[in-house]
Amino acid sequence: MGVPRKVVELKRVVITGIGIVSPLGIGKGPFLEALLAGRSGVRRIERFDTTGFPVEIAAEVRDFDPLVFIDKKWTKRMDRYAQYGAAAATLALDDSGYPIAEDPYAVGALIGSGVGGLDTFMEQTGVLLEKGPTRVSPFFIPMMIPNMASACSSILLGLKGPVNATCTACAAGTNALGDAFSIIRRGDATAMFAGGAEAAVNQVGMSAFAALRAISSRNDEPERASRPFDAERDGFVMGEGGGVLVLEEAEHALRRGAHIYAEFAGYGMSGDASHLTEPDETGEPAAMAMTRALVDAGIDPAEVDYVNAHGTSTPLGDVMETRAIKRSLGVHAGEVMISSNKSMFGHCLGAAGALEAAATVLCMEAGKVAPTINLEHPDPECDLDYVPNVAREAEIDVAMSNSFGFGGHNAAIVLRGWHG
């Protein structure tokens, strides 16, 4: 006989807090303002000397002081990516006003990262080669591993509920949000601090992605380098940052009078099962993730108002996503608004999905769609409405956000305006 399974009533889940550390600014206000203005955060790299590097541009987080958010002792034990994640979690807490002390075992953290502590890995490998194995820091491993944005946020904020991390390359942030949604919906937590964090703009990260021929080498025009769906795109631009959303069980949010941005309605995943770095060109597996998210939300494709595209600005990826949207939404694909935030803040890898979900929610509330900037020469194979160059006034009731990661990880989430 099979083991009896617990039958639970699925909870409704809402978003009640947003924390942002990004190349467009720190905090939700500056972030949204830059998005709607179509302002690029891509510049020549300032963090290190790029002499000899084939790519000299990136979307770096500027004016970030970890001591504003984190005790000095802790900053020394955290890689930059974990600092971004914990800072975003702190901002999300401030925004939501969630009463953690009410029941710390009912609230957890799930913050993904595609790469983890690359700064620490590079630095400590240098120590090993120059000074020998006895000089390697005892904090090397706990600073490097990709679960530490979640772990440190849990420790610093006192979150004793489910604490986990996703590491699914560029889909990590979206998978983290979806997994946190699932945890709350089945009743295993009342709230989750969920999102993604990444800090791979360093010598190792830039060299590695340049070797893959994945990133743009438009060094003389940094602000025009990230150009999703444009015929002259030549690769993505590296970005970095952290995005954390407070996901909360709807009834709890209502009882405490929380501000509700939107309802988290559905989540879908799939795998390409095809290639280490290239997407399945047919778009079929990616479309399956989108369709599963819609089915999970109980939403018909014709109800979708907006798609926040993965939109990396890579030759294969943008065509694949266009095909996937057409497969999933059918005839409605030609009517839906689509845009790529990566045109402005680059590809933040494991943080991308979280920042893009936050952007989607903020745009829903503002009644505007952020544009895809630098879309000057439309690719004939990318023939949908990508809201080129200028933000658009629009009522968004149902939105989808897509993320696709190396290794064939596909994830999509569906958000809906809160109607009580």
Residues marked active site are found at 170, 310, 347
Question: What region, left, alpha or beta, does residue 241 occupy, with left being phi > 0 and alpha being psi -120 to 50 degrees?
Answer: left
In angstroms, the Cα distances linking 4 to 1, 7, 183, 184 are 9, 9, 20, 22
Q: Smallest Cα–Cα separation from 61: which of 202, 172, 186, 234?
A: 202
47 burial (CB, 10 Å; 0-12 / 13-18 / 19+) is middle
Residue 58 in 3-state DSSP? strand
Alpha-helical runs (H) found in 62-202: 72-75, 80-96, 118-131, 140-144, 148-157, 172-185
Beta bridge partners of 248: 14, 191
CB atoms under 10 Å from CB of 6, counted, come to: 6
Cβ partners under 8 Å of residue 78, min gap 6: 66, 70, 86, 143, 148, 152
**Contact predicate 81/88, CB 8 Å:** no
Token pair, residue 40, equals 């690029």
Measured distance CA(337)–CA(386) in Å, rounded: 6
**Would you call 278 exposed, middle or buried from its count of C-beta atoms within 10 A (0-12, 13-18, 19+)?**
middle
Residue 197's H or E segment, with its range, is strand 191-198
Cα(403)–Cα(27) distance, integer angstroms? 22
Mapped onto helix, strand or coil, the DSSP state of residue 357 is helix
Element (H, E) at 325: helix 315-329
Burial of 339 (0-12, 13-18, 19+ CB in 10 A): buried
